[in-house]
Chains A and B, each alone.
Chain A
Amino acid sequence: MRKIILSILILACSLPVMSQSDGKPVGRLTGNFNMEAWYYLKDSVIGTEVPPEKTLMNAYGNFRYEYGNFTAGLRFEGYLNTLQGFEKGNDGTGIPYRFLSYKNDELQFTVGNFYDQFGNGLILRAWEDKNLGYDNAFEGVHVKYNPYKGVYLKGLYGRQRIFFELGDGIVRGFDAEFNLNEIFDTLSSIKSRLVIGGGIVSKYQKDENLQYNLPENVAAFAGRFNYKRGMFGLKGEYAHKINDPSADNNLIYKDGNALLLNATWSKGTFGVVLDGKWVDNMSFRSDYKAVEKNLLINYLPAITQNHTYALAAMYPYATQLTGEAGVQAELYYRLKKKSLLGGKYGTLITLNYSRVHDIERETEGLSNDTLGYTDQFLAISDELLYDDFNLKIERKFTKKFKAVLVAQHVSYNKQIIEGKGGIVYAKTGVLDLSYRLMRRHTVRLEQQILLTEQDRGDWYSAMVEYTISPHWFFSLMDQYNYGNEDKDLRVHYYTVGMGYNKGGNRIQLNFGKQREGIVCVGGVCRQVPSAYGAYVTISSTF
């Protein structure tokens, strides 16, 4: 009897396993962990303060469990207390992200927290970037359904995360995408590829405003296409939002709209990218009172280059949600290997130009002053917000020696973007040299200079980095504001750092002063606020 029971037990245990033995996984637990802790020091010249806690820390850990078609996950986050430069609203700990999901070939549903994007994000994008302190995840229900090959439907209901809470508004969204080459067999093998799609997003927020009669339901629509033929590509999206008075637009009732276009072409080692963009009153949040990075439903990408060299990124640009018009052109050309100009290993040249203006608004003769202004679609004002012209040359001279040269000119309308400071014109030069001393040892010297008559004046930056593959790196950096009009503010922002990597683990120690911007050291890039002190970062993927 005991034998029989035992056999049945063992069989019962092995049955679900046996049925899975056609290559599907048994349960699998994975995740990651990331923490950054600072010990702060005071510097009255650059204006850093020591918080009462002396030391602050941001950390998170993701855990993800998969079993066949099921996935479950959660993220613990702790801000004890929040690092300087991030919003203090996060102080504390919690599990703001947790979900359960089921998926088969046709249907996937998720309950709990989720991220998603419709098209280019013009009407909906929930995403997170811990380095930027950004997270507008939804909490609710998300469904994906593929009823037929090439047909992708998505729908969601949810409220959005704000720190460890949820915002007031309820967001409802539906998106459909059709891959015409997949749907119609006769188109499956032709060279032209076409994907079209569209979506609608609506938010509901109870009107409790005593002064204004606010719309409780606000809808936005978008349509898009993506065409590709060989090396030519053209894609675009148009979005329209009906009346949405908010803190961003000073409670006007005018509709908003946005247009994005992107064309690309390559041939051999030559490539070109052209972008065009129009945005008018398109901030879209699930709470009309929300500001800054909070409770945004949509995403309006900037079409200016995202620079990684610190001084070239001194004056970065972000989309003006209330209105802007911009263009960008980029050319790539790689000089062939073993040619006269290309050298033994070839040389890559990149030219980039982008320009953003304000849009033209007309405020006179308005029949209804709650609209705020009128405008013509695609009418551009003379007011320059930003332009950036830059040239980059990358060349490998020998097996051991590589160089990158960047020259840039930027015009930055600080007056409009930050609310003060007029227009800043800056010229930047970068020379980045790396030399492989031994098989695993490389030394890199990065020099940058920024020249401007405005703002804080001229800067010079130098960095030496020594790396030993595959585990170690050491770096020494100094950014010197030598051209500051105020002699007391001619400050050295120096940092010494070292790090150790092994597999999915990384630990890094740094000491110094940080100027705001994107910093890439020892192989990782991230956005950092200004601060002074010592800090440690640990990250692990498992």
Chain B
Amino acid sequence: MKSLLFVTLVFFTLNLSAQQIPSADVKKMSGETVSTSTFQNDGKPMVISFWATWCKPCVKELNAYSDNYEDWVEETGVKIIAISIDDTRSSGRVGPYVNARGWEFDVYLDENANFKRAMNVPNVPHTFLIDGNGKIVWQHTSYVEGDEEELYQKILELAK
């Protein structure tokens, strides 16, 4: 009897640890539709950062990540996904904007804020850290210089 209870409990806990990123349709620069439920990084940590071309702190934040990205990937295998919430007024700028800045992240367009709503983001910038099981383990709203250090600490803890 006790063992049955135990098995049940194990199943419950197993399930709780296996989460998935909320599903919403976003677009690649080429206009191709991608479901956010397919976002994954082979069990390694993943950062999802919401930004817009018209948001100064967002661009500062992604510049700071970009400066460190090579080292971070090498040390932890982390992947950064940048979700632009620019609507069709400015979403056409995103491609060249990202290339000129030399950002190596995976960039997607969320022109009507479907994914932003699914992730309950009130304002940009807003950044989530996702563990290898797809669970949100940390988040941060707004950006000031130096915040990237806190994020990196959290990534290191996950990568251990």
Cα–Cα, bound, A334→B103 (Å): 12
Cα–Cα, bound, A14→B57 (Å): 47
In the complex, per-residue mask of A208-237: 1 if CB is within 8 Å of any chain B CB, else 0: 000000000000000000101001010100
In the complex, which of the residues B57, B92, B118, B126 has the most CB atoms of chain A within 10 Å of its own CB atom? B92
Residues of A with C-beta under 8 A to B139: 503-504, 541
Cα–Cα, bound, A179→B30 (Å): 10
Would you call the interface of chain A mostly helix, strand, loop, or mixed?
Answer: strand
| Nearest-Cβ distance from residue B37 to partner chain A, whole angstroms | 9
Contact B92 A34 (CB under 8 A): no
Residue of A nearest to B9 (CB): A14
Cα–Cα, bound, A436→B140 (Å): 21
Contact of B11 among A18, A120, A302 (CB under 8 A): A18
Residues of A with C-beta under 8 A to B55: 308, 520, 525
Cα–Cα, bound, A303→B89 (Å): 6
| Nearest-Cβ distance from residue B88 to partner chain A, whole angstroms | 4
Cα–Cα, bound, A17→B19 (Å): 13
A116: interface (CB < 8 Å): yes
| Nearest-Cβ distance from residue B54 to partner chain A, whole angstroms | 4
Contact of B111 among A117, A269, A348 (CB under 8 A): A117
Residues of B with C-beta under 8 A to A510: none
| Nearest-Cβ distance from residue B41 to partner chain A, whole angstroms | 15
Residues of B with C-beta under 8 A to A235: 31, 92
Contact B123 A26 (CB under 8 A): no
Cα–Cα, bound, A339→B57 (Å): 27
Contact of B147 among A7, A18, A177, A469 (CB under 8 A): A469
Contact B5 A10 (CB under 8 A): yes
Contact B117 A115 (CB under 8 A): yes
A501: interface (CB < 8 Å): yes
Contact of A152 among B12, B33, B140, B150 (CB under 8 A): B33
Contact B112 A125 (CB under 8 A): yes
| Nearest-Cβ distance from residue B84 to partner chain A, whole angstroms | 13
Residue of B nearest to A13 (CB): B8
Contact B30 A195 (CB under 8 A): yes
Contact B92 A262 (CB under 8 A): yes
Contact A231 B99 (CB under 8 A): yes
- B-binding segment of A199-207, A270-278, A452-460: A270-278
Contact B92 A442 (CB under 8 A): no
Residue of B nearest to A30 (CB): B120
A487: interface (CB < 8 Å): no
**Which B residues between 111 and 144 are near A, CB-CB below 8 angstroms?**
111-114, 117-126, 138-144
Contact A306 B4 (CB under 8 A): no
Residue of B nearest to A73 (CB): B117
| Nearest-Cβ distance from residue A471 to partner chain B, whole angstroms | 9
Contact of B145 among A34, A269, A333, A434 (CB under 8 A): A434
Contact of B88 among A128, A301, A434 (CB under 8 A): A301
Residue of A nearest to B23 (CB): A103
Residues of A with C-beta under 8 A to B18: 21, 23-25
Known contacts A18-B11, A308-B54, A467-B144; A539/B1 CB under 8 A:
no
| Nearest-Cβ distance from residue B34 to partner chain A, whole angstroms | 11
Cα–Cα, bound, A231→B97 (Å): 12
Residues of A with C-beta under 8 A to B138: 503
Residues of A with C-beta under 8 A to B96: 264-266, 271-273, 330, 332
Contact A541 B5 (CB under 8 A): no
**Which A residues between 103 and 139 are near B, CB-CB below 8 angstroms?**
103, 115-117, 120-121, 125, 127-128, 130-131
Residues of B with C-beta under 8 A to A332: 96-97, 99-100
A421: interface (CB < 8 Å): no
Residues of A with C-beta under 8 A to B53: 306
Contact of B31 among A14, A195, A440, A468 (CB under 8 A): A195
B29: interface (CB < 8 Å): yes
A284: interface (CB < 8 Å): no
Residues of A with C-beta under 8 A to B19: 25, 28
Contact B57 A524 (CB under 8 A): yes
Contact B88 A501 (CB under 8 A): no
Contact A539 B141 (CB under 8 A): yes
Cα–Cα, bound, A350→B100 (Å): 10
Residue of A nearest to B120 (CB): A32
A492: interface (CB < 8 Å): no
**Which A residues between 323 and 341 are near B, CB-CB below 8 angstroms?**
330, 332-334
Known contacts A23-B20, A66-B22, A308-B54; A275/B112 CB under 8 A:
no
**Which B residues between 25 and 60 are near A, CB-CB below 8 angstroms?**
29-33, 53-57
Residue of B nearest to A345 (CB): B67
Residue of A nearest to B92 (CB): A262
| Nearest-Cβ distance from residue B4 to partner chain A, whole angstroms | 5
Contact of A539 among B92, B102, B123, B140 (CB under 8 A): B123
Residue of A nearest to B33 (CB): A152
A193: interface (CB < 8 Å): yes
Contact A308 B56 (CB under 8 A): yes
| Nearest-Cβ distance from residue A204 to partner chain B, whole angstroms | 24
Residues of B with C-beta under 8 A to A265: 96
Residues of B with C-beta under 8 A to A62: 117, 120
Residues of B with C-beta under 8 A to A127: 87, 112-113
In the complex, which of the residues B53, B87, B145 has the most CB atoms of chain A within 10 Å of its own CB atom? B145
Cα–Cα, bound, A349→B140 (Å): 30
Cα–Cα, bound, A182→B33 (Å): 10
Contact of A470 among B11, B112, B123, B146 (CB under 8 A): B146
**Which A residues between 230 and 250 are near B, CB-CB below 8 angstroms?**
231, 233, 235
Contact A334 B121 (CB under 8 A): no
Residues of A with C-beta under 8 A to B141: 501, 503-506, 523-524, 539, 541
- Name the 4 nearest CB pairs between A and B, nearest first: A271-B96, A523-B142, A469-B146, A226-B31
A-B contact pairs, 5 of them (CB 8 A): A17-B11, A62-B120, A120-B88, A539-B122, A541-B121
Given contacts A62-B117, A179-B32, A271-B97, 16 further A-B contacts (CB under 8 A): A14-B11, A17-B8, A20-B15, A26-B16, A32-B121, A64-B118, A266-B96, A271-B99, A306-B89, A440-B146, A442-B145, A468-B144, A520-B56, A524-B141, A526-B123, A542-B120
